[in-house]
């Protein structure tokens, strides 16, 4: 229970179905930890990870529903499995998605473990997704939800069969307005609370400031990753201060005057060379992914027609997916796709079903 | 479901006698103890009687008893009331946060602060305190009984050291009160803080022994209440409740009730130690009769606390952080336990009303819960 409308409504739905329901909130990050470093405000911000206001809201919902409620401290694991990898990825010039890591390592691993410890058979979350068992394939299937605008399957591609088998997504068949209406129906005062948007532990969404503050707190220095800024022709355009300042597809802050808009095309984490070029050059026809997880199929053996989603707000694009050996998959798009970004995930869809996914190399 | 409460160090229920003693002071005898007419005199009389009881409880003069809002206020008053910029404060790293945070604050304001770590058994070595003395040492603040392990600190010896050094000595006796006999003269302390709700009294009231002539600045200023040492209209029902609770606590210390609790605690400890992979934190040191802190190897303490609560057994682990989740105990970490051992430790603290049946019930529930937690296979993780 995050203290938001979605998980609160899930609690209300389950409590009214009469099951034995326990509310849990994960305490993942101390918002005040980096306060005062690099201009990070020490004022707690609502809607951020584990703010006191959100824990208060979650507890009030549990009290209203009359269910037991606990806050579970997972700050150490969150830092180890989500924050640290996030920082390393950025420093290596990639653009990570902490939400998928959090789902895999914290929400659907640690939370499920905690649930079992206290005698609960399953966990229920406020994610917009559908999971159902298909006897024909003897597999648990993850599907896009009724409200496609809220679809969170992109962040859930790493769920294992065991995790899916022990998870309930009660909001999968509902739209957000329906969820808000249900929240009101159940007398939840937070029915109109705004959705959270940004990465929960990054104050103000300013990841560079977060990196600086976190490294300072850890007594670490930014790694030396300054290097050349070159055009796709190979022409040297200038120098940059570090590859963590860039993400593929980025246009602002390149520091190079140019008559036409320039975009980051490639970030080389070894030579620290950043290549820039025109918008048209951002498009690529293929994508490689590794650390794959398969959901609707046991393994990718033969080439498969799928639609591939390469970032959260991306309309999945048709591609042919095939195994590339060494635990990697290769997707060849029908139409070239703009800004395929290493560090993001690629999720493969067959209709509404999530076939599987992996991390873009 | 049968519920057994074994977290007396967090708080205790009012004893019925305490509730009855307080009852008239809400509506009938509602007067302000500072008023000169009858209602005021009734209130004043009640406060004076409670003061008399507390003086007996501390073994001090009535004029040396100051009523306040509880343990945190007492601890804060001792530190903020005595330690000025340039002064040196000695305390320990296993104090309650009411002392630790206050010590950090006076340090920010220019005082020197030394935090003495405990030995692995949780005891503070008085000689370490002697070794930390400086010419400007103004105050030594040490707890009587540790809230998490129950370990009783050698306050008499520390009091002697303070006396020889000419420093003031404050004892946070919130957890010691009612569990060990009290005598401020034996401790040679200047200040000692207690809280009513730890001894079956009401929440929000406490008392402090302030030795005559101790130049402690009040934390609250305003009216001339409590001989100008603590401004604010007296919490008459609360003070009456504290008085009654202190009276009953003295009786329990005299009539062997506390020894009975110690025997139950020992029975509980023996029963839990029969579970493989368990150990007592603070074993070997003298401990308050009602407390035991037990390490369950390979168990996440927070999950065990929740599992036990859902089975009707109330115990605690670690210290509550701002959100209400649990952080590994700073006390256990100071004793040298690593984070996971600290997280695997739970505190059982018995009420003085605990029964044999309570202990047997807990001994039926705990081994099963521990076994269940240990038997859980890890969740199958994905490929990343």
pLDDT of residue A153: 96
A17 and A116 in a single domain? The answer is yes
What's the rounded mean pLDDT across residues B179-200? 95
pLDDT of residue A198: 72
In a domain, A61, yes or no: yes
Answer whether residue B320 shows pLDDT above 90.
Answer: no
Report d(CA A77, CA A113) in Å as an integer: 13
Q: CB distance B384–A158 less than 8 Å?
A: yes
Looking at the DSSP bridge assignments, the partners of residue B210 are B191
Report d(CA A269, CA A258) in Å as an integer: 25
pLDDT of residue B322: 65
Sequence-distant (6+) residues with CB within 8 A of A43 are: none
Closest-CA residue of B relative to A75 is B327
Report d(CA B79, CA B100) in Å as an integer: 10
Which one of B309, B376, B382 has the shortest CB-CB distance to A113? Answer: B376
Burial of B96 (0-12, 13-18, 19+ CB in 10 A): buried
Report d(CA A116, CA B16) in Å as an integer: 40
Q: CB distance B378–A118 less than 8 Å?
A: no
Q: What angle do CA B85, B184, B329 make, to 5 degrees?
A: 65
More confident residue, A275 or A38: A275
Q: Are strands A130-134 and A139-143 parallel, antiparallel or unpaired?
A: antiparallel
Looking at the DSSP bridge assignments, the partners of residue B176 are none
Q: What is the DSSP letter of A132?
A: E
Report d(CA A56, CA A49) in Å as an integer: 13
Which one of B306, B323, B383 has the shortest CB-CB distance to A293? Answer: B383
What's the rounded mean pLDDT across residues A330-334? 97
In a domain, A163, yes or no: no
From chain A, the residues in CB contact with B304 under 8 A are 117
Query: Closest Cα partner for B331 from B272, B373, B285, B278?
Result: B285
A345 and A200 in a single domain? The answer is no
Q: Are strands B88-92 and B112-116 parallel, antiparallel or unpaired?
A: parallel
pLDDT of residue A304: 97
pLDDT of residue A127: 96
Answer whether residue A335 shows pLDDT above 90.
Answer: yes
**A225-234, A254-263, A276-285, B66-75, range with greatest mean pLDDT:** B66-75
pLDDT of residue A22: 97
A203 and A232 in a single domain? The answer is no
Q: Report residue B214's pLDDT band, with 50, 70 and 90 as the boundaries.
A: very high
Contact B169, B187 (CB under 8 A): yes
Query: Closest Cα partner for B122 from B347, B361, B370, B382?
Result: B347
Q: CB distance B309–A68 less than 8 Å?
A: yes
Pick the CATH number of B16-252 from 2.60.40.3670, 3.40.50.720, 3.40.640.10, 3.40.50.12780: 3.40.640.10
Longest dimension (CA), chain A: 68
State the smallest CA–CA distance between residue B107 and chain A in angstroms.
19
Q: Report residue B377's pLDDT band, with 50, 70 and 90 as the boundaries.
A: low
Query: Closest Cα partner for A111 from A25, A46, A189?
Result: A25
Query: Closest Cα partner for B92 from B144, B143, B162?
Result: B143
Mean pLDDT of chain A: 91
Question: For chain B, what is the total number of helices (H) and then of strands (E)?
Answer: 14, 14
Instruction: Delimit the domains of chain B by residue range.
Output: 4-12+256-376, 16-252
Q: CB distance A104–B382 less than 8 Å?
A: yes
Report d(CA B6, CA B349) in Å as an integer: 5
More confident residue, B222 or B376: B222
Tens-digit pLDDT profile for residues A2-37: 999 999 999 999 999 988 999 999 999 887 788 888
What's the rounded mean pLDDT across residues A168-172? 98
In a domain, A164, yes or no: no
State the smallest CA–CA distance between residue B169 and chain A in angstroms.
34
Answer whether residue A184 shows pLDDT above 90.
Answer: yes
A268 and A342 in a single domain? The answer is no
A184 and A74 in a single domain? The answer is yes
Give DSSP secondary structure letters for B31-78. Answer: --TT-SSHHHHHHHHHHHHHHHHHHHHHTS-GGGEEEES-HHHHHHHH
Contact A14, A7 (CB under 8 A): no
Give DSSP secondary structure letters for B217-271. Answer: PPSS-SS-HHHHTS-S---HHHHHHHHHHHHHHHHHHHTTHHHHHHHHHHHHHHH
The yes-or-no answer on residue B321 being catalytic is yes
pLDDT of residue A53: 84
Contact A21, A11 (CB under 8 A): yes
Structure tokens at A26: 């994960």
From chain A, the residues in CB contact with B384 under 8 A are 104, 158, 291, 293, 358-359
Token pair 């036409």 is at which residue? A260
In a domain, A151, yes or no: no
From chain A, the residues in CB contact with B381 under 8 A are 104-105, 109, 160
pLDDT of residue B383: 45
Query: Closest Cα partner for A76 from B321, B97, B336?
Result: B321
Closest-CA residue of A relative to B306 is A118
From chain B, the residues in CB contact with A55 under 8 A are 323-324
Tens-digit pLDDT profile for residues A96-111: 888 888 888 899 988 8
Residues of A with CB under 8 A from a CB of B: 22, 25, 27, 30, 50, 52, 55, 59, 68, 70-73, 76, 104-105, 108-109, 112-114, 116-119, 158-163, 291-293, 327, 358-359
Report d(CA A264, CA A121) in Å as an integer: 47
Contact B192, B58 (CB under 8 A): yes
What's the rounded mean pLDDT across residues A207-219? 90
Which of B311, B321, B324, B346 is best to mutate for the A interface (most A CBs within 10 A)?
Answer: B324
A270 and A343 in a single domain? The answer is no
A248 and A328 in a single domain? The answer is no
A83 and A182 in a single domain? The answer is yes
For chains A and B, count residue pairs whose Cβ atoms are closer than 8 Å.
91
How many alpha carbons fall within 13 Å on the CB side of residue B135? 0
Is residue B272 within a helix (H) or strand (E), and if so which, with residue range? helix B257-273
Which one of A72, A112, A160 has the shortest CB-CB distance to B382? Answer: A160
In a domain, A82, yes or no: yes
Q: Report residue A115's pLDDT band, with 50, 70 and 90 as the boundaries.
A: very high
Which one of A70, A71, A291 has the shortest CB-CB distance to B384? Answer: A291
Number of domains in chain A: 3
What are the start-end ranges of the E strands in chain A? 23-27, 69-73, 123-124, 130-134, 139-143, 167-168, 227-231, 236-240, 263-267, 274-277, 283-294, 304-309, 317-325, 328-338, 345-350, 353-360
In a domain, A220, yes or no: no
Report d(CA B230, CA B205) in Å as an integer: 13
Report d(CA B265, CA B318) in Å as an integer: 20
A116 and A260 in a single domain? The answer is no
Q: Report residue B287's pLDDT band, with 50, 70 and 90 as the boundaries.
A: very high
Tens-digit pLDDT profile for residues A193-210: 888 767 888 877 788 889
Contact B88, B137 (CB under 8 A): yes
pLDDT of residue A42: 64
* B108 CB within 8 Å of a chain A CB: no
From chain A, the residues in CB contact with B323 under 8 A are 25, 27, 50, 52, 55, 71, 73
pTM of the model: 0.88
Report d(CA B314, CA B256) in Å as an integer: 25
In a domain, A212, yes or no: no
Q: CB distance A160–B339 less than 8 Å?
A: no
The domain boundary, picked from A157, A179, A207, lies at A207
* Domain CATH code at residue A318: 2.40.30.10
A9 and A110 in a single domain? The answer is yes
What's the rounded mean pLDDT across residues B255-280? 96
From chain B, the residues in CB contact with A118 under 8 A are 303, 306-307, 310
Contact B176, B151 (CB under 8 A): no
Tens-digit pLDDT profile for residues B44-82: 999 999 999 999 999 999 999 999 999 999 999 999 999
Answer whether residue A213 shows pLDDT above 60.
Answer: yes
pLDDT of residue A44: 56
What is B4-12+256-376's CATH number? 3.90.1150.10
pLDDT of residue B384: 47
What's the rounded mean pLDDT across residues B285-297? 96
Looking at the DSSP bridge assignments, the partners of residue A325 are A328
Token pair 């995790």 is at which residue? A163
A308 and A272 in a single domain? The answer is no
The yes-or-no answer on residue A200 being catalytic is yes
In a domain, A140, yes or no: no
Which one of B309, B379, B384 has the shortest CB-CB distance to A162? Answer: B379
Q: What is the DSSP letter of B7?
A: B
Answer whether residue B324 shows pLDDT above 90.
Answer: no
Which of A59, A71, A73, A103 is best to mutate for the B interface (most B CBs within 10 A)?
Answer: A73
Phi, psi torsion values for B64, nearest 5 degrees? -95, 5
* Domain CATH code at residue A232: 2.30.30
Contact B103, B89 (CB under 8 A): yes
Structure tokens at B204: 């929000």
Answer whether residue B91 shows pLDDT above 90.
Answer: yes
A269 and A298 in a single domain? The answer is no
Q: Report residue A256's pLDDT band, with 50, 70 and 90 as the boundaries.
A: confident
State the smallest CA–CA distance between residue B369 and chain A in angstroms.
8
Report the 3 state secondary structure along B311-339.
CCEECECCEECCCCCEECCHHHHHCCCCH
**Structural domain boundaries enclosing A56:** 5-126+170-207
Is residue A333 within a helix (H) or strand (E), and if so which, with residue range? strand A328-338
* Domain CATH code at residue A48: 3.40.50.620
Token pair 């005299």 is at which residue? B254
Q: ipTM of the assembly?
A: 0.85
Phi, psi torsion values for B249, nearest 5 degrees? -65, -40
């Amino acid at each position: 229970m995050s203290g938001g409308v979605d998980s609160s409504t899930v609690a209300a739905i389950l409590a009214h179905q009469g099951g034995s329901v326990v509310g849990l909130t994960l305490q993942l990050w101390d918002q005040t930890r980096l306060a005062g470093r690099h201009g990070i405000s020490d004022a707690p911000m609502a809607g951020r990870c584990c703010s006191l206001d959100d824990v208060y809201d979650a507890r009030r919902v549990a009290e209203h529903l009359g269910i037991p409620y606990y806050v579970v401290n997972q700050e150490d694991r969150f830092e180890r499995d989500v924050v640290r990898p996030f920082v390393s990825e950025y420093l290596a010039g990639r653009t990570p998605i902490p939400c998928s890591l959090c789902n895999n390592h914290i929400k659907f691993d640690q939370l499920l473990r905690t649930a079992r410890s206290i005698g609960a058979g399953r966990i229920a979350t406020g994610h917009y997704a559908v999971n159902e068992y298909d006897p024909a394939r003897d597999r648990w299937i993850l599907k896009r939800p009724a409200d496609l605008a809220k679809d969170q399957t992109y962040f859930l591609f790493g769920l294992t069969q065991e995790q899916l088998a022990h998870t309930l997504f009660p909001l999968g068949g509902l739209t957000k307005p329906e969820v808000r209406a249900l929240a009101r129906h159940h007398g939840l005062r937070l029915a109109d609370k705004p959705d959270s948007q940004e990465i929960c532990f990054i104050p103000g969404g300013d990841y560079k400031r977060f990196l600086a503050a976190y490294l300072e707190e850890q007594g670490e220095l930014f790694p030396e990753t300054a290097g050349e800024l070159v055009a796709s022709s190979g022409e040297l355009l200038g120098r940059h201060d570090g590859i963590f300042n860039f993400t593929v597809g980025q246009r602002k802050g390149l520091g190079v005057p140019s008559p036409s808009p320039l975009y980051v095309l490639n970030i080389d984490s070894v030579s620290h060379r950043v290549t820039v070029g025109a918008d048209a050059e951002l498009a690529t026809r293929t994508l490689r992914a590794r650390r794959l997880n398969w959901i609707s199929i046991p393994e990718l053996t033969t080439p498969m027609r799928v639609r591939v989603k390469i970032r959260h707000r991306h309309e999945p694009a048709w591609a042919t997916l095939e195994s590339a050996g060494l635990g990697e998959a290769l997707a060849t798009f029908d139409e070239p796709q703009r800004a395929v970004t290493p560090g993001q995930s690629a999720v493969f869809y067959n209709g509404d079903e999530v076939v599987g996914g992996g991390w873009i190399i | 479901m049968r519920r057994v409460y074994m977290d007396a160090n967090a708080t205790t229920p009012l004893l019925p006698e305490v509730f009855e003693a307080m009852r008239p002071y809400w509506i009938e005898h509602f007067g302000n103890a500072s008023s000169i007419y009858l209602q005021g005199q009734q209130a004043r009389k009640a406060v004076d009687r409670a003061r008399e009881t507390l003086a007996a409880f501390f073994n001090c003069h009535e004029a040396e008893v100051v009523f306040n809002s509880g343990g945190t206020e007492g601890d804060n008053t001792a530190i903020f009331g005595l330690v000025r910029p340039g002064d040196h404060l000695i305390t320990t790293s296993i104090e309650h946060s009411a002392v630790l945070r206050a010590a950090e604050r006076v340090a920010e304001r220019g005082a020197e602060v030394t935090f003495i770590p405990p030995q692995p058994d949780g005891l503070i070595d008085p000689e370490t305190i002697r070794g930390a003395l400086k010419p400007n040492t103004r105050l030594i603040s040490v707890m009587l009984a540790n809230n998490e392990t129950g370990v009783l600190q050698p306050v008499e010896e520390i009091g002697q050291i303070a006396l020889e050094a000419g420093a003031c000595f404050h004892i946070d006796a919130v957890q010691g009160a009612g569990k060990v006999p009290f005598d401020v003269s034996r401790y040679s302390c200047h200040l000692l803080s207690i809280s009513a709700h730890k001894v079956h009294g009401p929440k929000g009231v406490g008392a402090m022994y302030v030795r005559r002539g101790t130049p402690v600045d009040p934390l609250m200023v305003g009216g001339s209440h409590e001989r100008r040492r603590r401004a604010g209209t007296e919490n008459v029902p609360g003070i009456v409740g504290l008085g009654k609770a202190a009276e009953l606590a003295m009786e329990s210390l005299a009539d062997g009730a506390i020894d009975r609790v110690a025997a139950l605690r020992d029975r509980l400890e023996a029963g839990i130690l029969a579970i493989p992979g368990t150990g007592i934190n603070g074993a070997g040191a003298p401990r308050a009769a009602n407390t035991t802190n037990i390490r369950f190897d390979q168990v996440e303490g927070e999950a065990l606390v929740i599992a036990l609560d859902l089975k009707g057994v109330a115990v605690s682990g670690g210290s509550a952080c701002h959100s209400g989740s649990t952080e590994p105990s700073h006390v256990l970490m100071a004793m040298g336990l690593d984070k996971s051992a600290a997280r695997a430790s739970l505190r059982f603290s018995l009420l003085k009303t605990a029964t044999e049946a309570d202990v047997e019930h807990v001994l039926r529930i705990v081994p099963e819960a521990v076994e269940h937690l240990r038997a859980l296979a890890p969740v199958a993780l994905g490929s990343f």
